[in-house]
Structure 1
């Protein structure tokens, strides 16, 4: 009788182990697919240092999924792309968005960062 109980428990444990194994493989495949999709995504990296961005203007293509990210090289900054619903800071450093409308947008530092804060601006050109 004990042999049957151990046999049933062994089979159940094996089935449970296989279920966990296949679930883990499934999760890994989903993560790899998400990374592949993100790899195809257009990147817009805004690098902020004391009272300036790394470039006076950024250019991206319209209609493509884009990951907008803020990198703080010096100081503490928060940025807003005026006219779009994009605000990035230390707590929320990135956002995924598709720019549908071509045009020129202003990028402003919206966190007072010192004496040159008023001049801390850049442009985003969506083509």
Structure 2
């Protein structure tokens, strides 16, 4: 009698383990799909170093979801895209945005970062 009880308990434990395994796989697959959907669209990566950005001009397409991110290579900086209410810094390094209005916008460091701070500017062209 005890052998049958242990056998049934063993089968139930195995079935429970398989259920947990497949649930975990399904959860990871959903997380990957959500991440892929979030990464769909364009990306605007701004790299800031001492008193300069990695580019003087950035270009994005209007109407497409865009992940705007700030990467700090050297120093501490904060960037603002004037006229678009986008501000990125060390605490908030990225933002999901859809640029609606084509045009040219000023991009500048808004955190005093040293002697070359005033020259730390670039342009963003939304096409």
Using the size of structure 1 for normalisation, the TM-score is 0.87
Partner of 1:44: 44
Partner of 1:84: 84
Question: What pairs up with 1:106-125 in 2 under 5 angstroms?
Answer: 106-125=106-125
Distance in 2 between residues matched to 1:6 and 1:87, nearest whole Å: 63
The structure-2 alpha-carbon separation of the partners of 1:85 and 1:7, relative to structure 1 and needing over 3 Å to count, comes to farther
CA RMSD for the aligned pairs? 1.8
Report what 1:61 is aligned to.
Answer: 61
- 1:34 is displaced (CA, Å) by 3.1
Contiguous gaps of at least 5 residues in structure 2: none
Q: Secondary structure at the match of 2:4?
A: helix
The runs of at least 4 consecutive aligned structure 1 residues that moved more than 3 Å come to none
The aligned residue for residue 12 of structure 2 is 12
Gaps of 5+ in 1: none
Q: How does the TM-score come out when normalised to structure 2?
A: 0.87
Distance in 2 (alpha carbons) for counterparts of 1:4 and 1:84: 70
User: SS of 1:46's equivalent?
Assistant: strand
Whole-angstrom CA distance in 2 between matches of 1:81 and 1:13:
57
